[in-house]
């Protein structure tokens, strides 16, 4: 029991972990934060929170935070603490020198989905208006970039179609490649409440997840597919709906392109897409697929929620398209209780994508080749915008290894731990002449940095996050930044050190600029957000109160577009050397690479990553529960303890990547989504063998 005394005041702000975007009261005594209390008026959480958010403040005050800028000539030199002026001057001179010697395409940035909209907007502006290229990418590259592509192609915009309240009107909830009980707990509670009231649950996931188990009593349909076969399963679901005549033809005729539908219907009707034809490939009994398809098509309001188990595949974009097709086929779009909803892993994945962090899009998902849009930004920024898409994260690393990419500003992202194929990431970073890491802690990536700029936590800044339901929530400063500056100020200082003349005095001014240049944010400003508590975009003249449900009268692109979804096997194959398939995920108490949660009270719930392995596979290898095992793939190997469980099927193993000593991404490969380069974290051929330990 910890005695906290009586708090003297509180500040309402937004959780900086997952895409639910819970609202909290940060309670203080003097300047000391003593407690985080979930806020009852929070529209996403209504007074609830999970174990991550409640203890989030632990990392803000952790002793390992770096509070002073540091520089070094070479990555083998010791760090030298310097003033902000010296650090920014050093960084600016290096970046300018690289551009002068190697050209403007030789530098770029990686933004973080954990930073605010305003910070993210400024980082992409730094790239486009100061570096004069489009080499800006976001960590959404490695999670939800296929959502951007798939929903953009089919519906016309990359966003969840519903608000969280919508689930209260759902009769059938299909969860594909997501485990909200662990990764989005507060939303999962609302989902499970609806299931207790009678809604049916379909879960498509290789693991018997906590989401499956929590709702099992209520007629759950679990489709335990073999990792990498999402497209075959989603297309088989469509096959059943079309061939059994379960489509909503009136919806399709009115809202979708009929010719494209007919082509798609002919495609999915082919016998090789039938559940029986793909049963041995997917591992899902054909009758289970048929039951799930009938239930989704005829069971009332059908809603789909999906996560990284959909996107992080070589066919991630194809699966997103397949999911969008399912909703159009059944008319499950455009009203409460239905829709297609990507569950965003990080607090501001939606906002990061909205703010133009991708190398081909300016804020508001407008392509850099669009002359009118570039002219709009030129008018505001006073510089020509490059009309060629820039480099994605993996392209930056490839170019670095080849010698043409030399300088990187990496804000709030530990790419060495979070990105796949760690050896390749390290080689790319080591080949650069200037790596600027802007972060809270000396993370793994910082081992390859020349400049370290201390970052500020969500408790030390003003701004906005946009959650998974497109809700723009205010982030309010609870305490002064321990490092001296909010992150947007650091980016502004770096831009000005490189010759810009930015004069933002407060993030609200940045939001005003975003609103001026981005039609879906045209009605957003801080006064309005204070008055309304929060708002879902689009928020503009047409929708001054925001937009709880999208595509009500028509799709953003006009007619909904059906696209064929042919299954193509990943190049990552099992074989005699690597006979098992590894898939990865998260647990409730930890968040991503754990840089934050490992520095909070949450560490007591999870102090190491473990490998889940089926009893048959363990027995065949002489592995007992709790033994150390060697996990090896074509990319590399690591050592961790085994947990024997039938949550995973024979032939499949599973682990998390929360701890740097495990470095699970040492074993993941560099295969990626065909459309977006999102890494294929979810499918790695591996061998597991007994080990004496690390």
Strands 684-690 and 580-585: antiparallel
In angstroms, give the least distance from the CB of 85 to ligand SF4.
36
φ, ψ for residue 652 (rounded to 5)?
-120, 135
In angstroms, give the least distance from the CB of 475 to ligand SF4.
12
In angstroms, give the least distance from the CB of 682 to ligand SF4.
21
Which CB sits closer to ligand SF4, 106 or 466?
Answer: 466
| Number of neighbours of residue 169 by Cβ within 10 angstroms | 16
Which CB sits closer to ligand SF4, 48 or 94?
Answer: 48
Q: Cα(133)–Cα(104) distance, rounded to whole angstroms?
A: 7
Q: Cα(474)–Cα(535) distance, rounded to whole angstroms?
A: 10
In angstroms, give the least distance from the CB of 191 to ligand SF4.
12
HEC sequence for 481-492? CCCCCCHHHHHH
Which CB sits closer to ligand SF4, 56 or 99?
Answer: 56
Nearest of 293, 351, 294, 292 to residue 120 by alpha carbon:
351
Which CB sits closer to ligand SF4, 314 or 473?
Answer: 473
* Residue pointed to by tokens 């599973």: 654
Which CB sits closer to ligand SF4, 128 or 471?
Answer: 471
Which CB sits closer to ligand SF4, 157 or 596?
Answer: 596
Tell me the C-alpha to C-alpha distance, in Å, between residue 226 and each of 219, 472, 590, 667. Answer: 22, 37, 26, 19
| Number of neighbours of residue 158 by Cβ within 10 angstroms | 25
Asked if residues 469 and 538 have their Cβ atoms less than 8 Å apart, the reply is no
Which CB sits closer to ligand SF4, 45 or 456?
Answer: 45
Asked if residues 474 and 72 have their Cβ atoms less than 8 Å apart, the reply is no
In angstroms, give the least distance from the CB of 353 to ligand SF4.
18
Which CB sits closer to ligand SF4, 165 or 276?
Answer: 165
In angstroms, give the least distance from the CB of 547 to ligand SF4.
21
In angstroms, give the least distance from the CB of 586 to ligand SF4.
11
Nearest of 440, 439, 348 to residue 18 by alpha carbon:
348
In angstroms, give the least distance from the CB of 170 to ligand SF4.
19
Which CB sits closer to ligand SF4, 52 or 207?
Answer: 52
Which CB sits closer to ligand SF4, 20 or 327?
Answer: 20
Within 490-636, strands assigned E span: 534-536, 580-585, 610-613, 628-633
Which CB sits closer to ligand SF4, 374 or 461?
Answer: 461
Tell me the C-alpha to C-alpha distance, in Å, between residue 585 and each of 106, 178, 281, 309, 593. Answer: 34, 9, 23, 8, 11
In angstroms, give the least distance from the CB of 587 to ligand SF4.
12
Which CB sits closer to ligand SF4, 52 or 192?
Answer: 52
In angstroms, give the least distance from the CB of 660 to ligand SF4.
21
In angstroms, give the least distance from the CB of 570 to ligand SF4.
31
Which CB sits closer to ligand SF4, 184 or 226?
Answer: 184
Provide Rg for the chain, Cα atoms. Answer: 24
Nearest of 638, 631, 622 to residue 582 by alpha carbon:
631
Which CB sits closer to ligand SF4, 189 or 496?
Answer: 189
* Helices and strands (H, E) in the chain, number of each type: 24, 26
Asked if residues 378 and 165 have their Cβ atoms less than 8 Å apart, the reply is no
Q: Cα(135)–Cα(546) distance, rounded to whole angstroms?
A: 32
Which CB sits closer to ligand SF4, 20 or 333?
Answer: 20
SS3 473: strand
Strands 107-111 and 407-411: parallel
Helical residues (DSSP H) of 15-159, grouped into ranges: 51-54, 57-60, 84-102, 117-125, 145-154
* Residue pointed to by tokens 């609202």: 23
Q: Cα(199)–Cα(210) distance, rounded to whole angstroms?
A: 18
In angstroms, give the least distance from the CB of 187 to ligand SF4.
7
In angstroms, give the least distance from the CB of 38 to ligand SF4.
7
Residue 585 pairs in a beta bridge with 656
In angstroms, give the least distance from the CB of 116 to ligand SF4.
15
Q: Cα(611)–Cα(231) distance, rounded to whole angstroms?
A: 26
What's the DSSP call for residue 625? T
Q: Cα(578)–Cα(558) distance, rounded to whole angstroms?
A: 47
Strands 652-656 and 534-536: unpaired
Which CB sits closer to ligand SF4, 181 or 635?
Answer: 181
In angstroms, give the least distance from the CB of 75 to ligand SF4.
34
In angstroms, give the least distance from the CB of 47 to ligand SF4.
11
HEC sequence for 10-52? EEEEECCCCCCCCEEEEEEECCEEEEEEECCCCCCCCCCCCHH
How is the beta sheet containing 70-71 ordered, strand by strand?
80-81, 70-71, 451-454, 434-439, 407-411, 107-111, 136-138
In angstroms, give the least distance from the CB of 8 to ligand SF4.
24
SS3 102: helix
* Residue pointed to by tokens 């991503």: 592
In angstroms, give the least distance from the CB of 648 to ligand SF4.
25
Q: Which residue's Cβ has the minimum distance to ligand SF4?
A: 53
Which CB sits closer to ligand SF4, 69 or 185?
Answer: 185
Binding site for ligand SF4 (CB under 6 A): 15, 17-18, 20-22, 45, 49-50, 52-53, 184-186
Which CB sits closer to ligand SF4, 23 or 518?
Answer: 23
Q: Which two tokens stand for residue 578?
A: 């690597």
Nearby residues of 373 by Cβ (< 8 Å), 6 or more positions away:
362, 366, 367
| Number of neighbours of residue 163 by Cβ within 10 angstroms | 23
Nearest of 467, 472, 462 to residue 518 by alpha carbon:
472
Which stretch of DSSP H or E encloses residue 563?
Answer: none
């Amino acid at each position: 029991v910890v005695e906290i005394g009586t708090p003297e005041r509180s500040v309402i702000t937004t959780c900086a972990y997952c895409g639910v975007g819970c609202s909290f009261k940060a309670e203080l005594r003097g300047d000391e934060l003593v407690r985080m209390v979930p806020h009852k008026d929070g529209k996403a959480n209504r007074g609830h929170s999970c174990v991550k958010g409640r203890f989030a403040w632990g990392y803000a005050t952790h002793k390992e935070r770096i509070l002073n800028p540091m520089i070094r000539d070479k990555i083998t030199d010791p760090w030298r603490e310097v003033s902000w002026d010296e650090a920014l001057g050093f960084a600016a001179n290096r970046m300018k020198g690289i551009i002068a010697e190697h050209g403007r395409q030789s530098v770029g940035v990686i933004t973080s989905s954990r930073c605010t909209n305003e910070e993210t907007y400024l980082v992409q502006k730094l790239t486009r208006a100061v570096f004069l290229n489009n080499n800006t990418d976001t960590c959404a590259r490695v999670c939800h970039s296929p959502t951007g592509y798939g929903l953009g192609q089919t519906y016309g915009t990359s966003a969840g179609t519903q608000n969280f309240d919508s689930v209260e009107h759902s009769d059938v909830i299909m969860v594909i490649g997501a485990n909200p009980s662990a990764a989005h707990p507060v939303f999962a509670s609302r989902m499970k409440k609806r299931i207790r009231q009678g809604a049916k649950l379909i879960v498509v996931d290789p693991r018997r997840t906590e989401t499956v188990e929590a709702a099992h009593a209520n007629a759950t349909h679990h489709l335990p597919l073999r990792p990498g076969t999402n497209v075959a399963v989603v297309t088989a679901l469509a096959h059943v709906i079309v061939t059994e005549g379960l489509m909503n033809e009136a919806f399709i005729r009115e809202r979708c392109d009929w010719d494209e539908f007919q082509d798609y219907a002919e495609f999915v009707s082919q016998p090789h897409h039938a559940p029986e034809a793909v049963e041995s490939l997917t591992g899902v009994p054909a009758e289970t697929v048929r039951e799930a398809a009938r239930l989704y098509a005829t069971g009332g309001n059908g809603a789909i929620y999906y996560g990284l188990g959909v996107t992080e595949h070589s066919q991630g974009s194809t699966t997103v398209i397949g999911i969008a097709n399912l909703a159009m086929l059944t008319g499950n779009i455009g009203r409460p209780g239905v829709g297609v909803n990507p569950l965003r892993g990080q607090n501001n994945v939606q906002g990061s994508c909205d703010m133009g962090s991708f190398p081909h899009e300016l804020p508001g998902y407008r392509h850099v080749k669009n002359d009118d849009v570039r002219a709009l930004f030129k008018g505001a920024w006073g510089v020509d915008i490059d009309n060629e898409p820039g480099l994605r994260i993996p392209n930056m690393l490839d170019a670095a290894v080849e010698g043409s990419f030399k300088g990187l500003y990496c804000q709030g992202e530990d790419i060495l731990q979070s990105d796949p194929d760690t050896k390749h990431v390290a080689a790319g970073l080591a080949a650069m002449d200037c790596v600027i890491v802007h972060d809270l802690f000396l993370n793994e990536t910082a081992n390859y940095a020349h400049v370290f700029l201390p970052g500020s936590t969500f408790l030390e800044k003003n701004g906005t996050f946009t959650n998974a339901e497109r809700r723009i929530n205010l982030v309010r400063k609870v305490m002064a930044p321990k490092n001296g500056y909010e992150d947007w100020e650091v980016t502004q200082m770096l831009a000005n050190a490189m010759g810009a003349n930015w004069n933002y005095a407060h993030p609200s001014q940045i939001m005003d600029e975003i609103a001026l240049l981005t039609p879906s944010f045209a009605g957003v400003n801080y006064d309005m957000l204070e008055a309304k508590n929060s708002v879902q975009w689009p928020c503009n003249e047409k929708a001054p109160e925001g937009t709880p449900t999208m595509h009500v009268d028509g799709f953003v692109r006009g007619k909904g577009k059906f696209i064929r979804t042919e299954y193509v096997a990943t190049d990552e194959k099992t074989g005699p050397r690597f006979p098992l398939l590894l898939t990865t995920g998260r647990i409730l108490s930890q968040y991503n690479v754990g840089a934050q949660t490992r520095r909070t009270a949450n560490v007591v719930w999870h102090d190491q990553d473990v490998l889940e392995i089926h009893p048959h596979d363990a027995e065949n290898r002489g592995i007992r529960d709790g033994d150390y095992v060697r996990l090896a793939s074509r990319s590399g190997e690591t050592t961790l303890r085994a947990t024997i469980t039938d949550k995973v099927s024979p032939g499949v193993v599973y682990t998390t990547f929360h701890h740097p000593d495990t470095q699970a991404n040492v074993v993941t490969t560099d295969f990626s989504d065909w459309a977006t380069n999102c890494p294929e974290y979810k499918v790695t051929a591996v061998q597991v063998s007994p080990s004496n330990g690390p």
